């Protein structure tokens, strides 16, 4: 197709999850067409294509974070999305809000792919949500049901634990399962206690694409439940700093204090660079 057509139109979003790849691809051969063409650019530049800048899903409180953290500040909500909100009764869980991003710290230790402490907090948040109402963009008010809440976590072990404590019919799964779906509320369990407990690398747990998909499933409210020690993960590269900083950024949007990310880099000894004006070969 590439050698027989004059033009090729590519449609997609390289800032969400890519297709699972089991093989090893050298260099950039494993990238999607959009990833290859756009490189480190998060959105399509105007001179190269069209960026669909309006979301029909997210309310302003959720969209603003996703836009600033992932899409160069270019993503905006439809005007009617501002009507979407939860109607919280007296006695609702203190972590819940009508709209936006919330960050709930749950201290725990030694948890890798399963956290009973976070499952307990998710259970309480979920139970509180089931007694609330929500208003859609047309002004229609409805009672929240199991269809209106997604519970998302990176690990299958935490999925199994959450299913065991939540009501039958609860929508629980990994980020990969819920790509392309939506709900009024997204409850996100990060699960892992600290850097020492991570079963995989920083790039997996703190993946900007995974966090983007998890949070942007929510129409009104996204609640991130996490160990505070995850915000102190040592980083060994600038890219890892960017990834961890996205989670710290989410806490700032949620109203928490600014966080510090620790950078631990090994600097290799190199030959001194030539001074200005010195001649070099090659």
- Taking residues 231-254, what's their average pLDDT? 91
Mode of pairing for the β-strands spanning 183-189 and 171-174: unpaired
Which pLDDT band, with edges at 50, 70 and 90, does 268 fall under? very low
Quick check: is 132 in a domain?
Answer: yes
Q: Round to whole Å and give the CA distance between 172 and 178.
A: 9
Please tell me the predicted confidence (pLDDT) of residue 271. Answer: 43
Q: Cβ distance 154 to 188 under 8 Å? A: no
- Residue 174 to residues 126, 164, 187, Cα–Cα distance (Å): 17, 15, 12
Quick check: is 27 in a domain?
Answer: no
Chain mean position to CA 231: 15
Any idea what the CATH number is for the domain that residue 129 is in?
A: 3.40.50.300
Quick check: is 12 in a domain?
Answer: no
Quick check: is 46 in a domain?
Answer: no
Quick check: is 187 in a domain?
Answer: yes
Task: Give the chain's domain count.
Answer: 1
Quick check: is 265 in a domain?
Answer: no
Rounded to 5 degrees, φ, ψ at 198 are -65, 125
Please tell me the predicted confidence (pLDDT) of residue 275. Answer: 42
Q: Which domain holds residue 205?
A: 56-253
Q: According to the 3-state scheme, what is the secondary structure of 53-98?
A: CEECCCCHHHHHHHHHHHCCCCCEECHHHHHCEEECCCCCCCCCCC
Please tell me the predicted confidence (pLDDT) of residue 121. Answer: 98
Quick check: is 47 in a domain?
Answer: no
pLDDT at 64 over 50: yes
Please tell me the predicted confidence (pLDDT) of residue 256. Answer: 58
Which pLDDT band, with edges at 50, 70 and 90, does 279 fall under? very low
Sheet containing strand 141-143, strands side by side: 85-87, 133-135, 141-143
Q: Cβ distance 111 to 197 under 8 Å? A: yes
Tokens of 212: 């983007």
Kindly report which listed range (56-60, 222-226, 264-268) carries the lowest average pLDDT score. 264-268
Quick check: is 275 in a domain?
Answer: no
Most confident of 70-74, 104-108, 241-245: 104-108
Which pLDDT band, with edges at 50, 70 and 90, does 202 fall under? very high
Dihedral angle sign, alpha carbons of residues 58, 64, 67, 69: negative
Predicted structure pTM score: 0.84
């Amino acid at each position: 197709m590439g050698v027989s057509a004059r033009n090729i139109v590519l449609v997609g979003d390289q800032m969400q999850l890519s297709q699972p790849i089991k093989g090893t691809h050298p260099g950039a051969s494993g990238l999607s067409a959009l990833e290859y063409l756009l490189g480190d650019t998060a959105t399509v530049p105007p001179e190269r294509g069209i960026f669909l800048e309006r979301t029909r899903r997210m309310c302003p409180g959720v969209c603003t974070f996703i836009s600033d953290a992932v899409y160069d500040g270019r993503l905006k909500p439809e005007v009617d999305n501002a009507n979407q909100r939860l109607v919280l009764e007296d006695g609702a869980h203190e972590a819940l809000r009508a709209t936006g991003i919330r960050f709930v710290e749950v201290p725990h230790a030694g948890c890798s792919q399963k956290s009973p402490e976070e499952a307990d907090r998710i259970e309480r948040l979920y139970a509180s949500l089931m007694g609330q109402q929500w208003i859609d963009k047309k002004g229609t008010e409805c009672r929240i049901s199991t269809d209106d809440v997604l519970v998302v976590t990176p690990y299958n072990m935490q999925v199994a634990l959450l299913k065991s404590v939540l009501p039958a019919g609860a929508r629980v799964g990994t980020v990969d399962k819920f790509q392309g779906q939506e709900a009024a509320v997204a409850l996100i369990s990060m699960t892992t206690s600290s850097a020492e407990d991570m079963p995989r690398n920083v790039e997996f747990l703190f993946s900007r694409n995974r966090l983007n998909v998890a949070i942007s499933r929510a129409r009104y409210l996204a609640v991130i439940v996490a160990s505070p020690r995850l915000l102190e993960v040592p980083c060994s590269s600038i890219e890892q700093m960017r990834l961890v900083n996205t989670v710290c950024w989410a806490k700032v949007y949620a109203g928490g204090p600014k966080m510090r990310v620790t950078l631990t880099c090994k600097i290799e000894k190199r030959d001194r660079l030539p001074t200005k004006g010195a001649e070099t070969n090659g």
